[in-house]
Amino acid sequence: MTLLAVERMKLFTTRSPWWCALVALAVTIGFSALVVGEAADSGPFAPTVASTQFGYSFGMAVIMVLAALAVTTEYRFGTIRTTFQAVPNRTAALVAKATVVALVALVIGELSAFGSWGIANLLKPNAPLALDSGADWINVAGVGAVYALAAVIAVAVGILLRHSAGAIALLLIYALAVENLVRLIPGIGDDIYQWLPFNVANKFLTGDGASDLGRNAEAGAPLSNAVLSQGWSLAYFAAVAVALLAIAIGVARKRDA
């Protein structure tokens, strides 16, 4: 618990987490307001629960920036050496850091998801936006879990690269572009894409489209083509995050700080 408290204090004594949290909330809730505001009040093009979460991937990108900076800033200013001197068990120190960042990401994710859903209800009070099913609840409440695991991935990349610009560039390019570009590979692109982590995370959130009332053209981001069920999709994404963190910690233990 002491390590967690220390990591919490280190995280929130800098400005970047506060700015990243505000940007993540503004981006996700702002996108929801734009999408829902342009939708019809009723009929086939009325907003759905899923369309309120249209901007979650953009907020997730900001969360990964926050998580990467939580690690790379320490390497940049050399404070990671002090951390490892105070806590010779590097595994415990880095796991504590990843846990704190993941918990912060979880809270931001829930605030952004329910904030997006709330603003949609204010803008379109007559639209079918009630959380009436498990699929609806997962589509909204599940955003926090995805943000938390994405933050763990970002922490792992930050540990491996130790350079802010490089880690952030790699994370953003991969999450926002590379996975979709894989689909362009002739013959095997779609088969590979089915197992890529952020596509699988999207499957956890959207499932088979039950929270989108049939997925009309205005109903937000496209459905995932991942072959796993929603529950196994979350487990798969979590396994990827934990595996990357384990690799990163193993590398950190063997090299100089």
Q: Where are the domains of the chain?
A: 2-254
pLDDT of residue 209: 65
**8 A C-beta contact, residue 76 and residue 144:** no
Minimum mean pLDDT range among 62-66, 145-149, 188-192: 188-192
Which of 99, 109, 97 has the alpha carbon at shortest distance from 70?
A: 97
pLDDT of residue 145: 96
Average pLDDT on 195-213 reads 81
Residue 2's identity, in one-letter code, is: T
Q: Is the pLDDT of residue 170 over 70?
A: yes
Question: Which of residues 123 and 105 earns the better pLDDT score?
Answer: 105
pLDDT of residue 215: 43
Minimum mean pLDDT range among 38-42, 129-133, 173-177, 196-200: 38-42
Structure tokens given for 205: 């959130």
Alpha-carbon distance of 49 to 249, in angstroms, equals: 39
Which of 27, 228, 2, 47 has the alpha carbon at shortest distance from 147?
A: 27
pLDDT of residue 113: 95
Average pLDDT on 181-198 reads 91
Average pLDDT on 191-202 reads 93
pLDDT of residue 41: 67
Structure tokens given for 33: 């307001």
- Count the Cβ atoms, other than its own, within 10 Å of residue 232: 15
pLDDT of residue 218: 44
pLDDT of residue 216: 47
